[in-house]
Amino acid sequence: MGGEAEAIEGTIELKPEGKRMGCPDSVYVPCPKCGTESEFQSKGDDGGACRGYKLADAPAAVLSDVNRHSPNQCEKCGIWFDVEAKIEYTVIDRRVFEVPPPCLCYEWEGKTVSTRCPVHKNQEQSS
């Protein structure tokens, strides 16, 4: 029952699950039979932020929780349906290349210290 509202003598008691309370995002999904849009809610994107998306434009994080109250019933034709979201992550480009070493010299009591500096490690300390 964690995270759900429970009626107790006419009041509502909220039981937290560790997630912040917030306004869910909405994903508007066309009915597969008649095309009428139905609202699916999601808190997949850091708990929700009251944003609205068409199914084709919803980010992966939102789609990861889009079926939290599924299935939905179409208001026009009455069929029940839910969303199958296949989320794939693609690495587009990653490159690793050599660069010159950084200078790690630092000031200590008015003198420049270069003992750990790969650029100046063989030079004497200067003031």
How many angstroms from the chain centroid is the CA of residue 114? 43
pLDDT in tens, 27-58: 999 999 999 999 999 988 776 678 899 999 99
Which amino acid appears at position 97 of this protein?
F
- Please say if the pLDDT value at position 9 is more than 50: no
Query: Exposed, middle or buried by CB within 10 Å (0-12, 13-18, 19+), for 85?
Result: middle
SS3 35: coil
Record the pTM: 0.54
Phi, psi dihedral angles at 63 (to 5 degrees) = -65, -25
